[in-house]
Amino acid sequence: METISDNTTFKVMNQDFVKLDRFDGSNFTLWKDKLIFLLTVLKISYVLDPNLKPFPEPIDKDTEKMIKDRKKRDEDELVYKGHVLNTLLDQFYDLYTPMKSPREIWNVLEFKYKTEKLGTDKFLIFKYFEFSMVDNLSVLDQVYELQVLVTKLREVKIVLPESFQVGAIISKLPPSWNDYRKKFLHKTEEFTLEEI
């Protein structure tokens, strides 16, 4: 078993393969997924398992294995809590630091941001329909931005058919692309997102 003092764990913690952004209250799902991935790689994600039984209070008759397992769990919880707190913006850090266990912090964050996310679907739908392209920005960048909205809609279980997305892109092209839009609208064949 690895401990936080092992070079292996320290090396994994410093790898660039998982880039964790500071959580600022938005994109909770993305932040959570990245953090869970990192903590799974570190082999400490088990500390949030709701079925994980707490260790009994230490006694003189504890076996060496029990002492070692308790120490490992304490270290893993400390590393987990440290990673969660380290990826929070400073104002969130100060708010969640007094909490003792990583499970408590995690449950509070999930409750707060999953609840707030419930109203997000209406906002995303509004944002999707209000989205319009402008001439002074790259069309490809704007299409990408629209596709990010589609991905966020998919996260809240709103799936848009590809033909609908193609039509939306054509209809949202900037004014300088009117001739291009008309050509697309008069063609009889169907286009995929890749083709458009």
Shared-domain flag, residues 136 and 45 = no
Instruction: Please report whether residue 196 resides in a domain.
Output: no
pTM for the structure as a whole: 0.54
Instruction: Please report whether residue 192 resides in a domain.
Output: no
- The answer to whether 196 and 163 have CB atoms below 8 angstroms apart is no
- Token pair, residue 122, equals 């209406």
Q: How many CA atoms lie within 13 A of 114 on its CB side?
A: 7
Summarize the confidence of residues 173-186 as an average pLDDT: 86
- Token pair, residue 140, equals 């490809």
Summarize the confidence of residues 116-126 as an average pLDDT: 71
Q: Which residues does residue 23 pair with via DSSP β-bridges, in sequence order?
A: 88
Instruction: Please report whether residue 176 resides in a domain.
Output: yes
Shared-domain flag, residues 73 and 50 = yes
If one counts the domains in the chain, the total is: 2
Cα 75 to Cα 81: distance, rounded to the nearest angstrom: 10
Shared-domain flag, residues 178 and 91 = no
pLDDT of 7 reads 44
Summarize the confidence of residues 111-130 as an average pLDDT: 76
pLDDT by residue (tens digit) across 131-165? 889 888 888 888 888 888 888 888 778 888 988 88
Give residue 12's pLDDT band: very low, low, confident or very high (50, 70, 90). very low
Give residue 188's pLDDT band: very low, low, confident or very high (50, 70, 90). confident
Give residue 20's pLDDT band: very low, low, confident or very high (50, 70, 90). confident
Tell me which of 84, 117, 150 is where a domain ends. Answer: 117
Residue 23 reports pLDDT greater than 80: yes
Averaged pLDDT of the chain: 82
Summarize the confidence of residues 10-29 as an average pLDDT: 64
pLDDT by residue (tens digit) across 96-109? 999 988 889 988 88
Shared-domain flag, residues 130 and 170 = yes
Burial class of residue 35 in the structure, from the number of CB atoms within 10 Å of its CB (0-12 exposed, 13-18 middle, 19+ buried) = buried
Token pair 């004014």 is found at 175
Tell me which of 59, 90, 117 is where a domain ends. Answer: 117
Amino acid identity of 69? D
How many percent of the chain have pLDDT more than 90? 8
Shared-domain flag, residues 11 and 72 = yes
Instruction: Please report whether residue 73 resides in a domain.
Output: yes
Residue 75 reports pLDDT greater than 90: yes
Summarize the confidence of residues 100-123 as an average pLDDT: 78
138 lies in which domain range?
120-186
- The answer to whether 77 and 47 have CB atoms below 8 angstroms apart is yes
